């Protein structure tokens, strides 16, 4: 990208009242070029415990809209989004762009749960004509790079826009839809624009690394379980670390329209942004905080709370009693408390059956490690209940927990009776290495590790 284009992109993406964009972090490189230099984002950039910034938070979408969508002018645009892709008026970016008439939208691409969010987990809305706008909505859920490339070419996409609120966990599928779309963008020569949003977990990374043998739709590349990055930062990471090997090159032009007013340690509740459910079982920002840990219970015979009003915060099974909550409380796990709870799922595991278990309550987000908490829960449940079992699927890699955790290691350790300290200790070296590698791609300041 030429220096002149670099300056023009800055002008185009600077939204009214939002201040200037930070150029090195905002605009990524042309294919084959080095990742743009960025001021290192370190824990020292903002002292831990400092007051949260007292300024409004504006998403990338809001900033682009405030500038009249000039960043997308003159291009045939394909949009990957869902109900979370909204502005402060609570309307979707697709409806706003369509009615404004300033963006040439040639297609919308729906991820898991669909563009309008009508589908449950593991499902999509299919390819159809959107009744509100008349736009073609292509089914992108589960599409591989070749299929996504085919969809982009059929629609005539020149610029791909990604705007989805992520939940911060490796096994939340939207980031893999983004990665697949980036691979397709390399093949078609399309620009790629990320309208960024905060990571509801903040900026710390937690958990084990995905191993190549266990990659799948719930973990397509080698990143840790809670990556601690926004989707814009992840796009930069994917572009710099994976695309050349997987797609034969890098995105021709990768731009991130940054969130303004956000720091890495600012809880989502402090941003002032509305929370729209990114999926039917992610009802609140509190759900997102615990999900990278309690989501592992999808790989067991315990209910992860689907079919209740507090999924992933309520976890249990018909065979669980008061002892689980008592043992977990005795562990004094930082930043979290456990309430003995009973619930009856209305769908999914243990349908219409009373389950004993716990409600997980985060008491201090700054001290809370969701993945360690999930491990503590697994270790205690395995030790207490002979009925505890791992979920088995009809697959060459039969244990679902291995796909969620990235390898057989966690399952084998817990099965053998290892304690939480041993399980968590096993991944510290790979976590440190990931944290070191990701820092050059980070955009936002504040405690990062």
How confident is the model over 235-258, as a mean pLDDT?
98
> Quick check: 43 pLDDT over 50?
no
**Per-residue confidence (pLDDT) for residue 275, from 0 to 100:** 96
Phi/psi at 146 (5° precision)? -65, -40
How does residue 269 score in pLDDT terms, banded at 50, 70 and 90?
confident
What lies within 8 Å, CB to CB, of 119 at 6+ separation is 112, 113, 125
**Per-residue confidence (pLDDT) for residue 41, from 0 to 100:** 36
> Quick check: 208 pLDDT over 60?
yes
Instruction: Report which of residues 311 and 141 the model is more confident about.
Output: 311
The answer to whether residues 341 and 296 touch, using CB atoms and an 8 Å cutoff, is: no
How does residue 215 score in pLDDT terms, banded at 50, 70 and 90?
very high
How does residue 20 score in pLDDT terms, banded at 50, 70 and 90?
very low
> Quick check: 226 pLDDT over 50?
yes
Phi/psi at 206 (5° precision)? -140, 150
Angle at 158 between CA 276 and CA 33, to 5 degrees: 95
> Quick check: 39 pLDDT over 70?
no
**Per-residue confidence (pLDDT) for residue 410, from 0 to 100:** 98
Question: Distance of CA 418 to CAs 94, 121, 295, Å?
Answer: 50, 32, 20
User: Each residue of 344-388: pLDDT tens digit?
Assistant: 999 999 999 999 999 999 999 999 999 999 999 999 999 999 999
Query: What is the CB neighbour count within 10 angstroms for residue 299?
Result: 23
Instruction: Report which of residues 3 and 148 the model is more confident about.
Output: 148
How does residue 153 score in pLDDT terms, banded at 50, 70 and 90?
very high
How confident is the model over 294-323, as a mean pLDDT?
98
For the chain, the first-to-last Cα distance in angstroms comes to: 32
Question: Burial code of 106-143, b = ≥16 C-beta within 10 A, e = fewer?
Answer: bbbbbbbbbbbbebeeeebbeeeebeebebbbbbbbbb
**Per-residue confidence (pLDDT) for residue 54, from 0 to 100:** 61
The answer to whether residues 97 and 67 touch, using CB atoms and an 8 Å cutoff, is: no
**Share above pLDDT 70 across residues of the chain, in percent, rounded to a whole number:** 87
> Quick check: 449 pLDDT over 60?
no
**Per-residue confidence (pLDDT) for residue 379, from 0 to 100:** 98
> Quick check: 340 pLDDT over 70?
yes
**Per-residue confidence (pLDDT) for residue 395, from 0 to 100:** 84
Angle at 259 between CA 290 and CA 103, to 5 degrees: 115
User: What's the mean per-residue pLDDT of the chain?
Assistant: 88
Angle at 130 between CA 126 and CA 136, to 5 degrees: 70
Which of 15, 136, 142, 10 minimizes the C-alpha distance to 77?
Answer: 136
> Quick check: 8 pLDDT over 70?
no
Q: Which two tokens stand for residue 433?
A: 């290495």
Question: Burial code of 159-176, b = ≥16 C-beta within 10 A, e = fewer?
Answer: bbbbbbbbbbbbbbbbbb
**Share above pLDDT 90 across residues of the chain, in percent, rounded to a whole number:** 77
């Amino acid at each position: 990208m030429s220096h002149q284009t670099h300056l023009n992109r800055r002008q185009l993406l600077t939204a009214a009242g939002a201040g200037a964009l930070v150029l090195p972090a905002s605009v990524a490189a042309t294919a084959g070029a080095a990742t743009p230099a960025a001021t290192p984002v370190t824990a020292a950039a903002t002292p831990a415990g400092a007051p949260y910034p007292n300024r409004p938070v504006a998403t990338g979408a809001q900033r682009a809209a405030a500038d009249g969508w000039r960043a997308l002018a003159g291009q045939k645009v394909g949009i990957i989004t869902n109900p979370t892709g909204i502005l402060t008026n609570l309307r979707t970016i697709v409806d706003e762009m369509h009615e404004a008439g300033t963006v040439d939208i040639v297609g919308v691409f729906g991820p898991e749960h669909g563009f309008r969010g009508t589908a449950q987990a593991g499902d999509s809305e299919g390819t159809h004509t959107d009744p509100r706008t008349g736009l073609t909505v292509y089914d992108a859920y589960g599409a591989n790079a070749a299929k996504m490339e085919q969809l982009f070419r059929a629609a005539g996409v020149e610029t791909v826009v990604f705007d989805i609120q992520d939940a911060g966990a490796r096994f939340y599928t939207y980031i893999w839809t983004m990665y697949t779309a980036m691979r397709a963008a390399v093949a078609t020569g399309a620009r790629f624009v990320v309208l960024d949003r905060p990571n509801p977990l903040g900026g710390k990374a937690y958990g084990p690394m995905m191993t190549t043998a266990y990659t799948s739709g719930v973990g397509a590349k080698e990143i840790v379980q809670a990556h601690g990055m926004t989707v814009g930062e992840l796009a930069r990471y994917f572009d710099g670390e994976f695309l050349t090997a997987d797609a034969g090159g890098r995105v021709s032009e990768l731009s991130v329209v940054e969130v303004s007013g956000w720091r890495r340690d600012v809880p989502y509740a402090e941003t002032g942004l509305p929370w729209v459910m990114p999926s039917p079982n992610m009802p609140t920002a509190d759900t997102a905080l615990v999900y990278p840990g309690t989501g592992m219970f999808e790989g067991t015979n315990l209910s992860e709370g689907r079919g209740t009003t507090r999924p992933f915060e309520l976890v249990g099974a018909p065979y669980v009693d008061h002892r689980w909550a008592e043992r977990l409380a005795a562990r004094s796990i930082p930043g979290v408390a456990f309430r003995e709870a009973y619930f009856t799922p209305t769908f999914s595991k243990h349908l219409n059956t009373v389950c004993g278990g716990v409600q997980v309550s985060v008491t201090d987000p700054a001290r809370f490690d969701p993945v360690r908490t999930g491990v503590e829960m697994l270790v205690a449940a395995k030790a207490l209940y002979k009925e505890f079992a791992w979920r088995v699927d009809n697959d060459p890699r039969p244990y679902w927990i291995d796909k969620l955790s990235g390898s057989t290691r966690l399952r084998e350790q817990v099965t053998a009776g290892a304690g939480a300290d041993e399980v968590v200790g096993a991944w510290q070296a790979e976590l440190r290495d990931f944290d070191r590698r990701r820092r050059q791609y980070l955009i936002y300041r504040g405690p990062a590790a």
